Amino acid sequence: MKYRLLAAATAIGLGLAVTARAEDTAAEIQQYRQMLTDGNPAELFEMEGEAMWATKRGPKHATLEKCDLGLGPGVVKGAYAQMPRYFADTKRVEDLESRLLTCMVDLQGFDRAQLSKKPFATAGHKSDIEALVAYVVGQSRGVPMHVTLNRPEEKAAFEYGRELFRYRAGPYDFACATCHAENGRRIRMQDLPNLTTTIGAQRAYTTWPAYRVSKSLFRTFEWRINDCFRQQRFPEPGYTSDAAIALTTYLAVLATGAPYQGPGIKR
């Protein structure tokens, strides 16, 4: 704990002091990442979500045990690996968070607008949806990502996501591609995966959602997209909006084949 902190500080200190070579810094970042995997507090959120799934909640006082994530009502194992996907009841391509909202509304009687108002936890307020996400994604551990584009709606979402990835906007004229379409790029101490390559997309998409150590909070993929938009000084995307789901679909398809390792852990 204290020694871990010391070792991490030394590792990063060494990386900066010795030389500014890209490989050295990358190696030190990798070493720090390795140290983080020795115990992931995301599992606490998985446990919380698992309990919440089976708890009667909301105005309808019902559990989520009949929620259909695409493999049939109540089937959670392996469900995340095939999302986002089209759902006939909502006539929409939905990512995991959108589908959880749908189930919380339909089965438990919650109000969708109310749930979407402050979906992300802060130091002062918890988020139920984050715990549910942690639980559901954890149930796809080891399952290869396999989002398929069978329906025209799914194909459209992929195309929309691909276009959005390259769409330059905001005061810096940034697109996702500005930072994420080249190899070997880094912003301060964060490696920027090249999301246009299979290996980059796989690495990025299978390490989210994740526990953010510096915030002691669990972050979902909708949060990741929201924060990317914030970093680009874009307008805030709607929670589970078509744009966010399209980008998720695009990345999920690029990441096809990679086995999902369960919730990740980040700095």
Partner 1 sequence: MAMRIRARMKGDITAVTAIIAHPMETGLRKGSDGKLIPAHYIQELTVDVAGQRVVDSRLNTAVSTNPVLNFKLKGAKVGDKVVVNWVDNLGEKGTGEAAVTG
Interactions with partner 1, residue window 227-256 (CB under 8 A): none
CA distances from 150 to 3, 71, 72, 95, 242 (A): 51, 15, 18, 16, 18
Residues that bind partner 1 (rule: CB under 8 A) add up to a total of 16
Q: For residues 45 and 165, which CB has a smaller minimum distance to partner 1 in the complex?
A: 45
Q: For residues 201 and 217, which CB has a smaller minimum distance to partner 1 in the complex?
A: 217
**Residues 65-104 as x/- pattern, contact with partner 1 by CB under 8 A:** ----------------------------------------
Closest C-alpha to 162, from 97, 84, 256, 249: 249
Q: For residues 47 and 149, which CB has a smaller minimum distance to partner 1 in the complex?
A: 47
Least gap, CB of 201 to partner 1 (angstroms)? 29
Q: For residues 43 and 159, which CB has a smaller minimum distance to partner 1 in the complex?
A: 43
Query: Cα 102 from chain centroid?
Result: 18
Least gap, CB of 214 to partner 1 (angstroms)? 9
Helix or strand run (H / E) with residue 217:
strand 217-219
**Residues 113-132 as x/- pattern, contact with partner 1 by CB under 8 A:** ----------xx--------
Q: For residues 5 and 17, which CB has a smaller minimum distance to partner 1 in the complex?
A: 5
Q: Does 38 contact partner 1 by CB under 8 A?
A: yes
CA 79, CA 185: separation in Å to the nearest integer? 33
> Catalytic residue at 228?
yes
Q: How many CA atoms lie within 13 A of 87 on its CB side?
A: 23
Closest C-alpha to 137, from 258, 47, 16, 260: 260
Q: Does 1 contact partner 1 by CB under 8 A?
A: yes
Least gap, CB of 264 to partner 1 (angstroms)? 15
Closest C-alpha to 71, from 51, 85, 50, 52: 85
Q: Does 216 contact partner 1 by CB under 8 A?
A: yes
Least gap, CB of 143 to partner 1 (angstroms)? 21
Instruction: Label the pairing between strands 85-87 and 217-219.
Output: unpaired
**Amino acid present at 189:** M
- Angle (nearest 5°) at CA 30 between 15 and 48: 130
CA 84, CA 182: separation in Å to the nearest integer? 26
Q: Which of 67, 103, 176, 228 is catalytic?
A: 228
Per CB under 8 A, residues contacting partner 1 are 1-2, 5, 38-41, 43-45, 47-48, 123-124, 213, 216
- The catalytic site residues sit at 228
